[in-house]
């Protein structure tokens, strides 16, 4: 067989196979026209949504691109109207929220948006047959009803002050999503919304592509084509950014540093609510002891963790609320004070044993600390925490495991956990600290139980008065100093490197899980070309 | 073989194999359900993802019931089986879509990759094997031989990473992954062809040593046999001797090999597709396995089992055709 005939055969096989597959199936991703490179943006992200259906939890914290919520967050995380014409009117008892809807808005298939779509979206999410794991966030809703074409009324089971912050949730079209299986219908991958962008393709594991919605009610975006390349590996993402294939990417601090000197690229440092914390289970003889908790709270060197582990891209954390937030209680910062920690333990009767580990009533001051297998950041936090504790005479054994291994042990064993949702101080603190939620799924993992905190948490969510709410969350944060059931370690900044081709870039305060919504492209619909 | 093909005997063999395939598939699917149920991964946690870390227990329990994973194992398997026989493969929980749609949009790309790679392996392996057998101990034989043993020991994903590093990162001549460039929305022949080169070459080359070594051995042996000596004595050209006589008899063991390499090709494709972000069924398989997505996992396993059975049938049929002494009784 000659080389030519081999090549010929190979080409024929290839062409035949291509023709076959082209006929048999379409690209799982795309269709639609490609735009010019000038008005297109390609960004590299590490995260991929499971579904693009708001009914299954997509975009629940806003910035879903394809959809709009009734309200939206601005750059300062203040609420502004989106599909509603104004912020809702709230009844005096805090149980009824009324939204006036924007008129003349159309879904991308040309059908008008109206109150029935809002009612459909919320009722479907609340339906227990819908596989939405975030349904608990709408727990307060008793019912939602349409009053005419352009008014929607929510009635709540109990007064819930941050409820309007949940209504950034995207609205799905009843006439499409209502006609199919909510959990597996084609709407989950081929969404139709009112948002600034239209989905042109989603190739799972590879990329999500959007094009501008020319009829967007807020004005057609100037970035006409927007692609999110899903690249899980940090090094590959950095390489493809450097190669010019990407216009921007999320990067860990060490890789972002490599782009610092580049002219033509800017690094955006987004502050977050993304905390790392150690749960100190109430039902463990050592971690349940308030003296041990207080000692650990001041024996950890948070500044060093920020400098060494996060390479400066972060801040020390003293609670779920970051120090930069308006909800943070000044004066609850804990100074690193190893001597103070030793004194607390000495006074409480934890005396150093032969091996340097303290003992009280025959109980060694030792406990295991679990972290998620493969999560390098949590591992480094866990190791630093254990080494700081060792200096105070507390012996912590770090262990890696998957959630399946960790979950049954959470009642007794400490866990290096993470979380953070920036919408409202209630979101994190209620689920982390409320005693009635102890051991409910992954809520209150430490089984924290403090009646003063419980009362303040209830007051904080019930009162509509900003001053009363601030006082309530001040109480929570002060109580956490007296009885720290968790040792909060750091809040982690998210770093993004973006080419300087556009104006209007900024970052919001970001949550723990950086979905599509995060990054400087949170408002890509408002970007304008650089002059 | 000028008498025409023995269709009857071949049909009977295929029919027998088909009857035998049914119990095999039953056992395999049940095995998949049993292994998945025994795995430490929790389908509900995999489904909920990060949202599951803030969900209430009640929410998670409801999800468990909705997904049907609170049912006993046998019940779930029987449910799946009866639905599958009725043409309903169920819904993939991890990809939020019907299994048939998930497989339908991916299998073509996987087939394209596998067929191209297989063609590369068979054609390249055979020609190198013949060339090496022509001069045993020659330069080509020694080089290709040692390269084959090294490749045999090298895992496909490692080769893939190496190829990305060299061709995509260092030289920058070929794309590192995906079906098309990140910024391109349309699937064009040129885009797919350039993106196909690396994964197909890596997958093909990882399979190549087998074909090379078999052909080389077969042809070397055949060259020492009487018919070849006779052909040479008759003064036939070296080319005719090599391709017409030695290769033809030396090819026989390779027909068996084609069938037995199919499973390896599938597992190799799994790794290669993952490394090159190829949108085939491999990525779906990995996701299905780690998220304990019963319906998708079972369907993919049936598919893989069927591919193996068909591969074996095909190689037996070919063997029977090439060597009538073997027949179609197996």
What DSSP character marks residue A111? P
**Is residue A514 scored above 70 in pLDDT?**
no
Alpha-carbon torsion (A21, B277, B39, B266), positive or negative: positive
Nearest to B179 among A24, A203, A229 (CB): A203
**Residues 42-101 in A contacting B (C-alpha not used; CB under 8 Å):** 42, 50-51, 53, 56-57
Q: What is the model's pLDDT at position A7?
A: 44
What DSSP character marks residue A88? P
Average pLDDT taken over every residue of chain A: 89
Instruction: Encode pLDDT of B279-322 as tens digits.
Output: 888 778 877 887 788 888 888 888 888 888 888 888 888 878 77
Q: Residue A68 and residue A85: Cα distance in Å, rounded?
A: 13
Instruction: Encode pLDDT of B99-114 as tens digits.
Output: 888 888 888 888 899 8
Q: What is the model's pLDDT at position B271?
A: 82
Q: What is the model's pLDDT at position A439?
A: 85
Share of chain A above pLDDT 90, in %: 74
Q: Residue B49 and residue B188: Cα distance in Å, rounded?
A: 35
Res. A37 pLDDT band, cuts 50 70 90 = low
Q: What is the model's pLDDT at position B185?
A: 66
**Could you tell me if A519 and A351 are in contact, meaning their C-beta atoms sit under 8 angstroms apart?**
no
Quote the distance between the C-alpha of residue A374 and its chain's center: 19
In order of A443, A445, A479, the CA distances from A279 in angstroms are 11, 7, 16
Nearest to B183 among A25, A37, A51 (CB): A37
Closest of B323, B67, B231 to residue A131, by C-alpha: B67
Share of chain B above pLDDT 70, in %: 97
**Is residue A1 scored above 70 in pLDDT?**
no
Kindly state the average pLDDT of the residues B239-259.
79
Q: What is the model's pLDDT at position B5?
A: 75
Share of chain B above pLDDT 90, in %: 2
Q: Which residue has the higher pLDDT, A470 or A188?
A: A470
B255 CB neighbour count, 10 Å cutoff: 19
Res. A458 pLDDT band, cuts 50 70 90 = very high
In order of A194, A422, A429, A468, A513, the CA distances from A432 in angstroms are 35, 14, 5, 21, 17
Alpha-carbon torsion (B130, B134, B136, B138), positive or negative: negative
Kindly state the average pLDDT of the residues A254-273.
92
Strand order in the sheet with A96-100: A89-90, A96-100, A151-156, A141-146
In order of B184, B322, B329, the CA distances from B325 in angstroms are 55, 9, 11
Q: What is the model's pLDDT at position B316?
A: 83
Res. A169 pLDDT band, cuts 50 70 90 = very high
Res. B9 pLDDT band, cuts 50 70 90 = confident
Q: Which residues of B touch A416 (CB under 8 A)?
A: none
What DSSP character marks residue A519? S
Q: What is the model's pLDDT at position A436?
A: 93
Say if the Cβ atoms of B185 and A33 lie within 8 Å: yes
Q: Residue A415 and residue B65: Cα distance in Å, rounded?
A: 28
Closest of A281, A288, A481, A310 to residue A384, by C-alpha: A310
Kindly state the average pLDDT of the residues A10-34.
39
Q: Which of A1-15, A22-36, A121-135, B76-90 has the lowest mean pLDDT?
A: A22-36
Which domains can be identified in chain A, with CATH numbers?
40-48+204-271+495-529 (3.40.190.10), 54-188 (3.90.76.10), 275-492 (3.10.105.10)
A436 CB neighbour count, 10 Å cutoff: 10
> Helical H runs in A392-488?
403-406, 425-433, 451-462, 466-482
Kindly state the average pLDDT of the residues B9-27.
87
Give the β-pairing of A486-492 and A494-499.
Answer: unpaired
Residue A518: half-sphere exposure toward Cβ, Cα within 13 Å? 29
Q: Which residue of A has its CA nearest to B108?
A: A21
Q: Which residues of B touch A236 (CB under 8 A)?
A: 176
How close are the terminal C-alpha atoms of chain A, in Å? 61
Q: What is the model's pLDDT at position A10?
A: 43
Q: What is the model's pLDDT at position B3?
A: 56
Q: What is the model's pLDDT at position B305?
A: 87
Residues in chain A, total: 531
Distant-in-sequence, close-in-space partners of A334: CB < 8 Å, separation ≥ 6: A297, A298, A302, A318, A481
**Is residue A379 scored above 90 in pLDDT?**
yes
Q: Residue B40 and residue B30: Cα distance in Å, rounded?
A: 18
Q: Residue A340 and residue B72: Cα distance in Å, rounded?
A: 55
Closest of A273, A334, A283, A274 to residue A445, by C-alpha: A283
**Is residue B168 scored above 50 in pLDDT?**
yes
**Is residue A282 scored above 90 in pLDDT?**
yes
Q: What is the model's pLDDT at position A2?
A: 44
Q: What is the model's pLDDT at position A23?
A: 37
**Could you tell me if A434 and A457 are in contact, meaning their C-beta atoms sit under 8 angstroms apart?**
yes
In order of A511, B189, B317, the CA distances from B183 in angstroms are 28, 16, 46
B161 CB neighbour count, 10 Å cutoff: 14
Radius of gyration (C-alpha) of chain A in whole angstroms = 26
Q: Which of A15-19, A254-258, B83-87, B172-176 has the highest mean pLDDT?
A: A254-258
Chosen for mutation from B108, B114, B122, B250 (greatest number of chain A CBs closer than 10 Å) is B108
Token pair in block for residue A260: 């610092």
Instruction: Encode pLDDT of A286-334 as tens digits.
Output: 999 999 999 999 999 999 999 999 999 999 999 999 999 999 999 999 9
**Is residue A415 scored above 90 in pLDDT?**
yes
Q: What is the model's pLDDT at position A26?
A: 38
**Could you tell me if A62 and A255 are in contact, meaning their C-beta atoms sit under 8 angstroms apart?**
no
Closest of A206, A185, A184, A27 to residue B105, by C-alpha: A27
ipTM value greater than 0.90: no
A341 CB neighbour count, 10 Å cutoff: 25
Q: At what angle do helices B294-322 and B7-38 cross, to 10 degrees?
A: 150
Burial A485-496 (b: 16+ CB within 10 A, else e): bbbbbbbbbbbb
**Is residue A499 scored above 70 in pLDDT?**
yes
Res. B254 pLDDT band, cuts 50 70 90 = confident
Q: What is the model's pLDDT at position B87?
A: 82
Average pLDDT taken over every residue of chain B: 83
Prediction pTM value:
0.80
Q: At what angle do helices B73-85 and B7-38 cross, to 10 degrees?
A: 150
Instruction: Classify B217 as helix, strand or coil.
Output: helix
Distant-in-sequence, close-in-space partners of A441: CB < 8 Å, separation ≥ 6: B52, B53, B54, B55, B56, B57, B59, B60
Closest chain A C-alpha to B167 CA, distance in angstroms: 13
Quote the distance between the C-alpha of residue B186 and its chain's center: 27
Across the A:B interface, residue pairs with CB atoms under 8 Å apart total 202
Q: What is the model's pLDDT at position A441?
A: 83
Q: Residue B205 and residue A529: Cα distance in Å, rounded?
A: 47
Say if the Cβ atoms of B106 and A56 lie within 8 Å: no
**Is residue A256 scored above 90 in pLDDT?**
yes
Q: What is the model's pLDDT at position A95?
A: 94
Concatenating the DSSP letter of every residue in A246-292 gives: -SEEEE-HHHHHTTTT-TTEEEEEE-B--EEEEE--TTSTTTT-HHH
**Is residue B189 scored above 90 in pLDDT?**
no
Q: What is the model's pLDDT at position B80?
A: 87
**Could you tell me if A177 and A55 are in contact, meaning their C-beta atoms sit under 8 angstroms apart?**
yes
Nearest to A513 among B50, B127, B172 (CB): B50
**Backbone φ and ψ of A383, nearest 5°:** -65, -40
Q: Which residues of A touch B48 (CB under 8 A)?
A: 133
Q: What is the model's pLDDT at position A377?
A: 92
Res. A19 pLDDT band, cuts 50 70 90 = very low
């Amino acid at each position: 067989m000659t080389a030519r005939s081999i090549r010929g055969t190979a080409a024929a096989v290839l062409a035949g196979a291509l023709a076959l597959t082209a006929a048999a199936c379409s690209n799982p991703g795309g269709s639609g026209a490609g735009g010019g490179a000038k008005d297109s943006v390609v960004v590299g992200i590490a995260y991929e949504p499971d579904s693009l259906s708001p009914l299954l939890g997509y975009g629940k914290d806003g910035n879903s691109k394809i959809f709009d919520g009734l309200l939206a967050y601005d750059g300062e995380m203040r609420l502004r109207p989106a599909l509603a014409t104004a912020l809702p009117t709230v009844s005096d008892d805090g149980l009824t929220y009324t939204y006036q809807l924007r008129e003349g808005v159309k879904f991308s298939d040309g059908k008008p948006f109206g109150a029935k779509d809002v009612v459909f979206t919320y009722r479907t999410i609340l339906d227990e047959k819908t596989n939405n794991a975030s349904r608990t966030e709408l727990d307060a809703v008793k019912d939602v009803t349409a009053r005419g074409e352009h008014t929607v009324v929510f009635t709540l089971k109990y007064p819930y002050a941050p409820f309007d912050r949940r209504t950034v949730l995207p609205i799905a079209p009843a006439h499409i999503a209502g006609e199919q299986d909510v959990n597996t219908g084609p709407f989950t991958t081929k969404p139709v919304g009112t948002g600034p962008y239209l989905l042109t393709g989603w190739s799972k594991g590879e990329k999500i592509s959007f094009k501008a919605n020319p009829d967007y009610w807020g004005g057609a975006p100037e970035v006409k084509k927007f692609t999110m390349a899903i690249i899980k590996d940090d090094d590959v993402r950095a390489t493809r950014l450097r190669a010019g294939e990407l216009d921007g990417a999320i990067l860990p601090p060490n890789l972002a540093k490599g782009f610092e000197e580049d002219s033509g690229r800017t690094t955006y440092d987004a502050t977050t609510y993304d905390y790392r914390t150690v749960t100190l289970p109430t039902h463990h003889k050592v971690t349940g002891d308030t003296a041990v908790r207080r000692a650990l709270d001041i024996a950890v060197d948070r500044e060093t963790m920020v400098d060494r582990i996060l390479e400066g891209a972060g801040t020390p954390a003293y609670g779920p609320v970051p120090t930069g937030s308006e909800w943070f209680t000044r004066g609850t910062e804990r100074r690193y004070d190893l001597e103070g920690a030793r004194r607390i333990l000495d006074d409480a009767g934890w005396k150093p044993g032969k091996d340097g580990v303290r003992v009280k009533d025959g109980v060694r001051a030792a406990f295991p600390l679990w972290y998620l297998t493969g999560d390098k950041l949590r591992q480094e936090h866990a190791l630093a925490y254990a080494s700081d504790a060792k200096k105070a005479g507390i012996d912590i054994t770090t262990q890696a495991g998957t959630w399946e291994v960790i979950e049954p042990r959470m009642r007794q064993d400490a866990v290096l956990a993470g979380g953070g949702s920036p919408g409202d101080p209630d979101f994190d603190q209620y689920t982390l600290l409320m005693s009635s939620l102890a051991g409910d799924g992954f809520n209150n993992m430490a089984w924290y139980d403090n009646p003063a905190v419980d009362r303040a948490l209830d007051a904080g969510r019930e009162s509509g008065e900003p001053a009363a709410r601030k006082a309530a969350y001040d109480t929570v944060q002060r109580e956490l100093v007296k009885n720290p059931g968790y040792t909060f370690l750091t809040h982690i900044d998210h770093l993004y490197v973006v080419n300087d081709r556009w104006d209007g870039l900024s970052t919001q305060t970001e949550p723990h899980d950086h979905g599509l919504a995060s990054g400087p492209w949170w408002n890509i619909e408002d970007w304008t070309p650089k002059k | 073989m000028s008498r025409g093909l023995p269709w009857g005997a071949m049909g009977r063999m295929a029919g027998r194999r088909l009857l035998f395939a049914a119990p095999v598939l039953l056992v395999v699917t049940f095995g998949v359900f049993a292994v998945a149920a025994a795995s430490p991964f929790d389908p509900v946690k995999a489904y909920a993802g990060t949202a599951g870390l803030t969900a209430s227990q009640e929410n998670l329990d409801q999800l468990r019931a909705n997904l049907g994973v609170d049912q006993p194992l046998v019940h779930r398997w029987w449910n799946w089986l009866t639905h599958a026989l009725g043409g309903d493969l169920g819904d993939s929980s991890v990809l939020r879509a019907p299994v048939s749609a998930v497989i339908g949009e991916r299998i073509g790309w996987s087939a394209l990759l596998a067929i191209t790679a297989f063609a590369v392996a068979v054609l390249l392996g055979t020609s190198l094997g013949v060339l090496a057998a022509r001069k045993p101990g020659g330069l080509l034989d020694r080089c290709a031989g040692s390269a084959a043993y090294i490749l045999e020991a090298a895992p496909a994903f490692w080769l893939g990473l190496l190829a990305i590093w060299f061709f995509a990162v260092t030289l920058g001549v070929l794309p590192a992954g995906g079906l098309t460039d990140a910024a391109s929305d349309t699937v064009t022949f040129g885009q797919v062809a350039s993106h196909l080169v690396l994964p197909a070459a890596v997958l093909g080359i990882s399979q190549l040593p087998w074909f090379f070594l078999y052909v080389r051995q077969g042809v070397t042996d055949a060259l020492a046999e009487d018919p070849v000596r006779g052909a040479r004595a008759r003064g036939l050209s070296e080319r005719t001797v090599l391709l017409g006589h030695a290769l033809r008899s030396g090819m026989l063991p390779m027909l068996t090999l084609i069938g037995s390499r199919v499973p390896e090709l599938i597992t190799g494709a799994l790794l290669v597709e993952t490394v090159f972000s190829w949108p085939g069924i491999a990525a779906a398989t990995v996701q299905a396995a780690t998220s304990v997505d019963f319906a998708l996992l079972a369907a993919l396993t049936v598919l893989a089992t069927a591919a193996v059975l068909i591969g074996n049938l095909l190689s037996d049929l070919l063997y029977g055709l090439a060597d009538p002494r073997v027949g179609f009784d197996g």
